[in-house]
Structure 1
């Protein structure tokens, strides 16, 4: 395994959704490289999922992940990255909605967004004291 495979800063760049990346990086480094994990994350795991589901593809993702156990660990990182993105998007959406509520009524915004006023109120409750 190359020194970069175990180098913490390399893994931190590949796993920005992990803070710190330490234990996860150590587990992944036993099976694969930061480059493979970065490639899997870049395509949101689609290539690896295709191979797991038996669809043909040009790359041996499972082999590059170090086998089935490595593939499971890498897929867990795809899930963790997606979860971190979902959380960040939800927080940003709530902040923007809270700003919009200052200039627009909940009823107007709810109608525009296709949600109930109650659902919109739930989204902005607690943001900036609303």
Structure 2
């Protein structure tokens, strides 16, 4: 059973982590091998099931077959990587904005000690966010 069987997604929603200009190429490649629902399920699982199967671990679902074989699985794993990269970028931006707010009321030394990083590393994280 698909994790998202109650809500059949389209490619645009499944690939929301991609820049709009990247959708067409990704859809063209993926659509030859699998469906948006399968890619959505793999992304919802953070790729764990597919990774386990590719690594030879038993899986309750034949992820590789649902991806259209190993080539499709590689393409879907690339989407997991792209989604993770987009998330890392968003987290870094949010963290920098939050740190920039914190340095308005706290010293870099105090915050660095609390976060377990150097003052220089903290300064690098917030530099440019508020002109610091």
Runs of 4+ in 1 over 2 A off after TM superposition: none
Counterpart Cα distance in 1 of 2:15 and 2:30: 11
Counterpart Cα distance in 2 of 1:126 and 1:86: 19
RMSD between superposed Cα atoms in Å? 0.9
Specify the SS of the correspondent of 1:126.
Answer: coil
| Equivalent residue runs for 1:1-130 within 5 Å | 10-20=10-20, 21-130=23-132
Segment of structure 1 superposing worse, 15-24 or 39-48 = 15-24
Counterpart Cα distance in 1 of 2:35 and 2:107: 51
Identify, as 1 or 2, the structure richer in helix. Answer: 1
Deviations 1:11-41 (A, max 9, x none): 0100111122111011100000000000000
Counterpart Cα distance in 2 of 1:111 and 1:43: 35
Figure out how many residues of one structure are paired with residues of the other and give that number.
Answer: 122
Report how far residue 101 of structure 1 moved.
0.3
Unaligned runs of at least 5 residues, structure 1: 1-8
Counterpart Cα distance in 2 of 1:92 and 1:27: 32
Name the structure, 1 or 2, with higher relative contact order (CA <8 Å, separation 6+): 2
Unaligned runs of at least 5 residues, structure 2: 1-8
